[in-house]
């Protein structure tokens, strides 16, 4: 199939200018559950179905996506269906089936850096094939058991393996709305975009909701030299040492990646900052830009925005995951995923997922 990067090259060229100022304050969330979908999810289900009845898989239409420039915004519209093969849904870890969506996102064409990073929960951005990148899940540990939509800082990580989220080979799964979304490297999309050259190249994957571009894990060893060697960029998050607090203060056990809070940001230990991004040149931005990276290790999908998310997205609110979830009033006060430790890095310590 033709490269989507080629398809959107003319659009990308219009977004090279950057401005630096101001700060964002809120985060986008997931769509509300349609009534017809809610009706499909009313029966109890054993563990693995996560308390919901299995949705029926249906024949899906062709994927649709468009990216246009309108009134100074980059507008992405899609039906949310991936342009690659997916795993089987529902499955033993996810009771939901894929359904077409009506995505329309308007992100700044000229993104602006914020004074401080903003927590991105839970929709971080959108891929150029119209599928959403999710930064977190809707499931949390509490002293009373697993809960949805918040309640503590102990957010189960979709890629951590501690809870069966039914993730497929594209590091994606499905919400109760039928929304298929990525929690890690979108391997099918990368394969489509890389073609015969293979994945070890700098590949534009999508746009964050603050307007900055999202790339795959490979980039230039020298961020400002497009002729430098291509390498896989390292994140700057590491597993914490020791054990978690015991109940009622925490879930106990060793920090093993089950929770986002199991990780900490160690400044300078990798190639990327706390937002899992960096400044540099890219094929689409030869004069330079800030860009995010979807990585193979935590945080996988970035958990923080470097810039200001669009006002429309900031008003959406509410974390989600395979169970959906309601607005989490404490989300803005909750510590960032991966608490910072601004000390010299222990380079021998690596994330476990």
- pLDDT tens, position by position, 314-350: 545 433 333 333 233 334 334 455 544 433 333 333 2
- pLDDT tens, position by position, 128-159: 999 999 999 999 999 998 998 888 899 999 99
Mean pLDDT confidence for 24-51: 36
Least confident of 111-115, 117-121, 207-211, 280-284: 117-121
Question: Is the model's pLDDT at 15 over the cut of 90?
Answer: no
Question: Is the model's pLDDT at 76 over the cut of 90?
Answer: yes
Three-state secondary-structure class, residue 222: coil
The neighbour count for residue 228, using CB atoms within 10 Å, is 13
Residue 206 lies in a domain: yes
Question: Is the model's pLDDT at 14 over the cut of 90?
Answer: no
Residue 180 lies in a domain: yes
Residue 351 lies in a domain: no
Residue 345 lies in a domain: no
Tell me, what's the pLDDT at 151? 80
Residue 55 lies in a domain: yes
Residue 159 lies in a domain: yes
Per-residue pLDDT band for 258 (boundaries 50, 70, 90) equals very high
> Could you report how far apart the first and last alpha carbons of the chain are, in Å?
32
Residues 6+ apart with CB under 8 A from 10: none
Overall domain count for the chain: 1
Tell me, what's the pLDDT at 50? 46
Residue 296 lies in a domain: yes
The neighbour count for residue 330, using CB atoms within 10 Å, is 11
Domain limits for position 192: 4-340
Q: Which of 44-48, 118-122, 240-244, 333-337 has the highest mean pLDDT?
A: 240-244
Q: How far apart are CA 294 and CA 246, in angstroms?
A: 32
Cis amide prior to 248 (ω within 30 degrees): yes
Q: How far apart are CA 173 and CA 322, in angstroms?
A: 7
Radius of gyration of the chain from its Cα atoms, rounded to whole angstroms = 19
Tell me, what's the pLDDT at 314? 53
Residue 273 lies in a domain: yes
Q: Which residue from 85, 90, 111 is spatially nearest to 24, judged by alpha carbons?
A: 111
Per-residue pLDDT band for 47 (boundaries 50, 70, 90) equals very low
Looking up tokens 């390498």 gives: 231
Cis amide prior to 90 (ω within 30 degrees): yes
- pLDDT tens, position by position, 260-312: 999 999 999 999 999 999 999 999 999 999 999 999 999 999 999 999 987 65
Mean of pLDDT over the chain: 80
């Amino acid at each position: 199939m033709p490269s989507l990067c080629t398809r959107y090259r003319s659009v990308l060229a219009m977004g090279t200018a950057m401005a630096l100022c101001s700060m964002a304050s809120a985060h986008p969330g997931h769509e509300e559950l349609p009534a017809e979908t809610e009706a499909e999810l009313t029966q109890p289900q054993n563990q693995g179905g996560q308390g919901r009845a299995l949705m029926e898989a249906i024949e899906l239409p062709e994927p649709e996506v468009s990216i246009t420039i309108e009134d100074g915004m980059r507008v992405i519209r899609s039906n949310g269906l991936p342009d690659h093969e997916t795993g089987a849904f529902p499955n033993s870890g996810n009771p939901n089936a894929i359904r077409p969506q009506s995505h329309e996102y308007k992100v700044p064409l000229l993104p602006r850096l914020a004074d401080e990073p903003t927590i991105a929960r839970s929709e971080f951005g959108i891929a150029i094939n119209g599928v959403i990148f999710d930064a977190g899940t809707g499931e949390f540990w509490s002293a009373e058991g697993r809960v949805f939509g918040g309640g503590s800082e102990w957010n189960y990580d979709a890629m951590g393996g501690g809870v069966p989220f039914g993730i497929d080979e594209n590091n994606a799964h499905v919400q109760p709305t039928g929304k298929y979304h990525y929690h890690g490297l979108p391997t099918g999309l990368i394969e489509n975009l890389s073609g015969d050259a293979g994945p070890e190249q700098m590949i534009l994957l999508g746009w964050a909701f603050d307007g900055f571009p999202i790339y795959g894990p490979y980039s230039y060893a020298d961020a400002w030299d497009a002729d430098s060697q291509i390498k896989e960029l390292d994140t700057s998050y590491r597993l914490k040492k020791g054990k978690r607090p015991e109940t009622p203060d925490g879930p106990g056990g060793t920090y093993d990646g089950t929770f986002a809070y199991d990780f900490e940001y160690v400044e300078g230990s990798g190639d990327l900052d706390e937002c899992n991004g960096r400044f540099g040149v890219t094929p689409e931005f030869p004069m330079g830009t800030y860009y995010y990276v979807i990585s193979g290790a935590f945080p996988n999908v970035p958990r923080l925005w470097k810039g200001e998310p669009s006002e429309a997205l900031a008003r959406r609110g509410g974390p989600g995951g395979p169970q959906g979830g309601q607005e989490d009033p404490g989300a803005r006060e909750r510590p960032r995923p991966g608490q910072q430790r601004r000390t010299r890095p222990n380079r021998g310590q690596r994330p476990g997922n």
